[in-house]
A and B are shown apart, each in its own frame.
Chain A
Amino acid sequence: MLDQTIRTHVFENGLTLLLEPMPDVQSAAFTVLVPAGSIYDPPHGNGTSTLLCEMMSRGAGDRDSRQLSAALDTLGVQRSEGSGPSHMSFSGATLGDNLVDTLTLYADILLRPQLPEDEFEAAKASVEQTLRSTEDEPRQKLLQELRRKTYPAPWGLPSDGSLDDLPNITPEWVRRHYDRCFRPNNTIVAIAGRFNPKLIQAQIEDLLGGWHIAPQLDVPIGESVPVFEHIEHESTQTHIGISYPSVPYNHPDYFAAWAAVSVLSGGSSSRLFTEVREKRGLCYSVSASLSTLKHDGRVMCYAGTTAERAQETLDVTVAELRRIADGIQEDELDRCKARAKSSLIMAQESTSSRSSSMASDWHHLGRVTTLDEIRDRIEALTVDTVLDYVHRYPANNLTILTLGPERLKMPS
C-alpha cells in the first residue's frame, strides 16, 4: 500500500548510499552520518567532535568559510550539522534541481575541509557560548545530566562537550579527530526526494568512491548503576528526569518497547498525560520516550513542576511507570497503532524525515526498513506481547535525577 522504492548500494570502500526517490515532491533531502561522534573524543577532550563539527563548515575545497556559506545559500540549502554520540551528522534539504551541485559542495566538506587554524579560537568560543547557555536552561541541563548518569562514559558524555574539558582541546586534537574518524567505511549517505537515482549514484561514486578506508575504532561498553541524585539550582520549577533499562532499536522486542512507551506517553490519552497533567494538574510538560544507542536502550522520562508539587509529581509518575505491569487495555494499544499508522503515511510527505530514517535504520540494522514493514510489525503487536516485554523490562532500578531548589525523596 505504501509505494516506496529504496535503492541501497555499498561502494568498495565501505560507504553506504541509500536512495529513495519520492514522486510528489519538489525537494530533496540528505543525511550523512560519519562515525566521528563524541564517543571518539580523546580523554579529557569531551567536546573535540563538536569543535571539529564547528570547524568543518569554516571553509572546504577552494572555498573559504564565507564563500562556502554563500554557495550553499545560493543553492537554498537548509542545513544543519551536529555531533551525536556515535556520528557526526550533516543534513540538509533543497529543491531537487539543486541536489547535484549541493552534493558536490558536501564532498568538499567531508573530504577537503580547510580546518583553518586562524579560526580555531573563534570556533572554540562558539562552542563555549553554547555550553554556557545550557547552564541557564534547567530542562536541557537536567536531560544532559540524566544521560550522563544513564549511559556509562563515553556513551553518556554530553555530545556538545563540557566547559571543564573545552580549554584542553587544541587544534592538533581536532585535526587528529578528523584524521582518525573521517572515513568511508561505516559512513552512510541517505537521500530522499526528487532526483534521478542512477545519476545520483554515479555522482556519489565519482565524488566519494576514491575516499580511503581507515581502521574501525572500538569503544568499550561499560556498566552503569542506578542513582538518585539532586542538582541544586535556583529555578522556578523542579525538573525531574527518570531513566530505566529498555532495548535498542535492533532488538526483537523493540516494537513492544515502543508500544509500552506509547501507552505511557504517546498522545494526550496516554497514561502520564492523563494521570499527571489532566487529572491532577501537576505539570504542563510530562513525557517518556525511548532512547536508543546501537547496543543499548533506555526509557527516559521528564517532568517539570513547581517545587511544592514536585514530590507528588515524582511519586505519581513513578507509580504510572510501574502500574503498566498490571495490565494494558486493548483500546490503549489500538490508539498507539492508529497514531503510528498515520505517522508512517505522513512520513511520505517529508523528504527530511525519510532521509534521516533511512540513515538511522542502516546504522542500527544494516538495512532499511520499509514503512510497510514497520506498519506490519506494529499491527502484529498484541496486549500479551507488550505485557510480556513490560514484565521482562520493568520500571525498577530507576535512575532519578532532579534539578531545582529542593531535594526530593525517593518514591517508595
Chain B
Amino acid sequence: MQFHQTRLPNGLQIVAELNPRAYSVSLGFMVNAGSRDETADASGVSHFLEHMAFKGNDRYTADDVNRIFDELGAKYNAYTSEEVTFYHAAVLPEYLPRTFELLSILPFPSLRQEDFDVEKKVILEEIGMYQDQPNWVAFEAVMQQFFRGHPLGNSILGTSDSITALTSEQMRAYHAQRYRAGNIVLAVTGNTTWDEVQRLAETYCGKWPEGSPGRQTPANRPAPAQRVITKADSVQQQVAQMAPAPSAVDPHRFAAELLSVIVGDHGGSRLYWDLVDTGDAEGADLGYHEYHGSGAWMTYLTCAPEDVARNLARIHEIYDEVNCNGVTETEVQQAKSKVASRVVLRGERPKGRLGSLAGNWVYRQEYRSIEDDLSDLRSVTVESIRKLLDEFPLAQLSTATVGPLEALTVS
C-alpha cells in the first residue's frame, strides 16, 4: 500500500492509501463540521445539513443523486458526529470518476426550500426513532452532563423544537462558514492511481471556496453531575457515566484504548467477568472516546433497575482496584492480540481503511499505516498504562440514567 498526500491551492487536503490489488476503491470527504460548531439557536443544523447534501445542486436533483449512485452500484452514506461530517462511497474501480463527480457535489448542495421542508419531517422522525432507543437517550444525556457548558455537550440531532424552528437561512449561514476547502479532507483508499485522484480532485473540487474557519477547543471542566430520566413502563435501566480521559492528540491514547479493552471490552474484560458473565447485567462496558482537545471514559451499564446500585458499586470497586494496582502483563498481552487482530481485519477492505485514513489526517495531520498502529500498540506496557492511570484515573463522574427508577443512589 502506498501513501500520497497533497493540498490544492484552495486548501483542500488530499490523502490516499492506494492498493492496486484491491477489488474496490473508497473515497470520502471529511468536513470539520459537527454539533460542537453550532450555536444554541441552530442546534442540529450540522446533521440536518448532511441530509440536505443528498438533495443535489443546480445540475442534479435529489432524485438524480439517489438514482445515479444506485446506477453505479455505489455503497454510499454519510454521518455526522460532534466534530465531523463524513460523506463516503465505495465502488468498483471503473466507476470511480462518475462516483467522484457525484460525491463532490454533496458538500455544496443548493439547499432548496421545498427540499428543506420535506427533509425537516424526516429529521423529526429520526429524532423520534432515537427517542425509542433508551441507550441513545442515555448517551446523549450523559454527554450533556459531562460537557455541560462546553460545545461537545451539544446534541447531534438537535431537539424537535430546535429543528422545527430552524430556517434554511440559518443553514446557509452555517454552511457558508464551515464548508470551505481548507476545512475539508478528501481521503481515497484502494484500487486507483495517484494521478487519477489528483486529476479528479482538481476537476471537481478546484473551485471550492477557500478558507478554514478553525474551531475553539476550550478545556472541559466537568463537575460531578447526575440526570435521571424516568420511563415508568421500561423494563431495564440504562446507565451511562463519563470521566476525563486523554484527548485525540495525547500520546496516552494507545494506552487508553488498550486499557478500555482490558477493563471494559464486551467480552473477556474485568467488567464482563464480574457483571455480565454472572448475569448481573445485560451489558457493562468501558469505552474510550477521543475528541479535539478532550477525551472521555464512557461507562455503560444495562441491568434490572433493582440491581443498579449494587452494580455501580461493583464497577466502582473494579475501577478503584485498577487505579490503585494497575493491570497485569497477561492482560496487556491478551488485549494487544485482540486489538491487533481488529486492526488487521478492519484494514483488509478499502472501506475499512477510509475512516481511519481521513480521521488521522483531520485530527492529527498524520498518516498512520496499519503497521504504525500495530507498532504503537506493541509499545504499550504495564508501566505506560500506570502513567495513564495516574493522569486519567477511571471514574464515574457524570451520570445519566434512563428507565423505571425515579432516583439513583450512587455511593
CB of B248 within 8 A of chain A?
Answer: no
User: Are the C-beta atoms of A273 and B278 separated by less than 8 Å?
Assistant: no
Q: Which residues in A have their C-beta under 8 angstroms from that of B280? A: 125
Bound complex: CA A391 to CA B341 (Å): 49
Contact with B along A57-95 (1 / 0, CB 8 A): 000000001100110111111100000000000000111
The one of A122, A306, A345 that contacts B124, using a Cβ cutoff of 8 Å? A306
Q: Which residues in A have their C-beta under 8 angstroms from that of B120? A: 281
CB of B369 within 8 A of chain A?
Answer: no
Bound complex: CA A398 to CA B334 (Å): 51
Name which of A198-206, A250-258, A332-340 contacts chain B: A332-340
Bound complex: CA A356 to CA B18 (Å): 28
Contact with B along A245-282 (1 / 0, CB 8 A): 00000000000000000000011111001100111111
CB of B69 within 8 A of chain A?
Answer: yes
Shortest beta-carbon distance from A263 to chain B in Å: 11
CB of B303 within 8 A of chain A?
Answer: yes
User: Are the C-beta atoms of B74 and A342 separated by less than 8 Å?
Assistant: yes
Bound complex: CA A334 to CA B67 (Å): 11
CB of A341 within 8 A of chain B?
Answer: yes
Contact with A along B260-299 (1 / 0, CB 8 A): 0000000110000100111111100000000000000000
* B339-380 contacts to A (CB < 8 Å): 340-342, 344-345, 348-351
Bound complex: CA A124 to CA B71 (Å): 49
User: Are the C-beta atoms of A73 and B279 separated by less than 8 Å?
Assistant: no
Bound complex: CA A109 to CA B22 (Å): 35
Q: Which residues in A have their C-beta under 8 angstroms from that of B251? A: none
Given contacts A69-B267, A306-B124, contact A274 B66 (CB under 8 A): yes
User: Are the C-beta atoms of B91 and A24 separated by less than 8 Å?
Assistant: no
Bound complex: CA A281 to CA B344 (Å): 40
CB of B209 within 8 A of chain A?
Answer: no
Given contacts A338-B71, A349-B349, contact A234 B233 (CB under 8 A): yes
The one of B118, B267, B281 that contacts A280, using a Cβ cutoff of 8 Å? B118
Given contacts A237-B129, A281-B121, contact A129 B281 (CB under 8 A): yes
CB of B92 within 8 A of chain A?
Answer: yes
User: Are the C-beta atoms of A338 and B279 separated by less than 8 Å?
Assistant: no
Q: Which residues in B have their C-beta under 8 angstroms from that of A27? A: 344-345, 348
* B117-143 contacts to A (CB < 8 Å): 118-126, 128-129, 131-134
The one of A123, A237, A280 that contacts B132, using a Cβ cutoff of 8 Å? A237
CB of B302 within 8 A of chain A?
Answer: yes
Which residue of chain A lies nearest to B124 when distances are taken between CB atoms in the complex?
A306
User: Are the C-beta atoms of B63 and A350 separated by less than 8 Å?
Assistant: no
Contact with A along B59-90 (1 / 0, CB 8 A): 00011001101111111000000000000001
User: Are the C-beta atoms of A338 and B333 separated by less than 8 Å?
Assistant: no
Q: Which residues in B have their C-beta under 8 angstroms from that of A161? A: none
Shortest beta-carbon distance from B164 to chain A in Å: 13
Shortest beta-carbon distance from A102 to chain B in Å: 11
Which residue of chain B lies nearest to A163 when distances are taken between CB atoms in the complex?
B235
* A29-74 contacts to B (CB < 8 Å): 65-66, 69-70, 72-74
Bound complex: CA A72 to CA B335 (Å): 11
Q: Which residues in A have their C-beta under 8 angstroms from that of B95? A: 342
Bound complex: CA A343 to CA B341 (Å): 24
Contact with B along A105-138 (1 / 0, CB 8 A): 0000000000000000111111011101101111
User: Are the C-beta atoms of A284 and B122 separated by less than 8 Å?
Assistant: yes
User: Are the C-beta atoms of B73 and A69 separated by less than 8 Å?
Assistant: no
Q: Which residues in B have their C-beta under 8 angstroms from that of A292? A: none
Q: Which residues in B have their C-beta under 8 angstroms from that of A281? A: 118-122, 125
User: Are the C-beta atoms of B66 and A137 separated by less than 8 Å?
Assistant: no
CB of A396 within 8 A of chain B?
Answer: no
* A128-172 contacts to B (CB < 8 Å): 128-130, 132-133, 135-139
Bound complex: CA A342 to CA B69 (Å): 12
Shortest beta-carbon distance from A318 to chain B in Å: 19
CB of B221 within 8 A of chain A?
Answer: no
Shortest beta-carbon distance from B276 to chain A in Å: 7
Bound complex: CA A395 to CA B236 (Å): 37
Given contacts A267-B69, A283-B125, contact A77 B341 (CB under 8 A): yes
Bound complex: CA A132 to CA B238 (Å): 12
Given contacts A26-B348, A129-B302, A342-B75, contact A285 B129 (CB under 8 A): yes
CB of A382 within 8 A of chain B?
Answer: no
The one of B54, B131, B333, B340 that contacts A236, using a Cβ cutoff of 8 Å? B131
CB of A241 within 8 A of chain B?
Answer: no
CB of A305 within 8 A of chain B?
Answer: yes
Q: Which residues in B have their C-beta under 8 angstroms from that of A304? A: 125, 128-129, 132
User: Are the C-beta atoms of B124 and A78 separated by less than 8 Å?
Assistant: no
Q: Which residues in B have their C-beta under 8 angstroms from that of A93? A: 341, 345
Central interface residue in B90, B276, B302, B348, by most chain A CB within 10 Å: B348
Q: Which residues in A have their C-beta under 8 angstroms from that of B278? A: 122, 125
Bound complex: CA A118 to CA B384 (Å): 38
* B166-203 contacts to A (CB < 8 Å): none
The one of B23, B124, B340 that contacts A348, using a Cβ cutoff of 8 Å? B23
Central interface residue in B73, B75, B121, B267, by most chain A CB within 10 Å: B73
Q: Which residues in B have their C-beta under 8 angstroms from that of A285? A: 125, 129
Central interface residue in B124, B125, B280, by most chain A CB within 10 Å: B125
Given contacts A73-B338, A74-B334, A304-B129, contact A269 B67 (CB under 8 A): yes
User: Are the C-beta atoms of B279 and A125 separated by less than 8 Å?
Assistant: yes
The one of A75, A277, A342 that contacts B337, using a Cβ cutoff of 8 Å? A75
User: Are the C-beta atoms of B125 and A26 separated by less than 8 Å?
Assistant: no
Shortest beta-carbon distance from A124 to chain B in Å: 7
User: Are the C-beta atoms of B73 and A338 separated by less than 8 Å?
Assistant: yes
User: Are the C-beta atoms of B132 and A236 separated by less than 8 Å?
Assistant: yes
Q: List 24 A-B contacts (CB under 8 A).
A: A25-B348, A65-B277, A70-B330, A76-B340, A122-B279, A125-B279, A126-B276, A126-B277, A128-B279, A137-B132, A266-B70, A269-B69, A278-B62, A279-B118, A281-B118, A281-B121, A284-B126, A304-B132, A306-B124, A331-B71, A334-B71, A345-B24, A346-B23, A346-B24
A residues apposed to B, CB below 8 Å = 24-27, 65-66, 69-70, 72-78, 93-95, 121-126, 128-130, 132-133, 135-139, 234-237, 239, 266-270, 273-274, 277-285, 304-306, 331, 334-335, 338-343, 345-346, 348-351
16 more A-B contacts (CB under 8 A) besides A268-B66, A269-B67? A27-B345, A74-B334, A76-B337, A76-B342, A93-B345, A94-B341, A94-B345, A122-B279, A125-B278, A126-B276, A268-B70, A306-B124, A342-B91, A346-B23, A346-B90, A349-B22
Closest 8 CB pairs of A and B: A125-B279, A76-B341, A281-B121, A342-B73, A129-B282, A267-B70, A338-B73, A284-B126
B residues apposed to A, CB below 8 Å = 21-24, 54, 62-63, 66-67, 69-75, 90-92, 95, 118-126, 128-129, 131-134, 233-236, 267-268, 273, 276-282, 302-304, 330, 333-335, 337-338, 340-342, 344-345, 348-351, 403
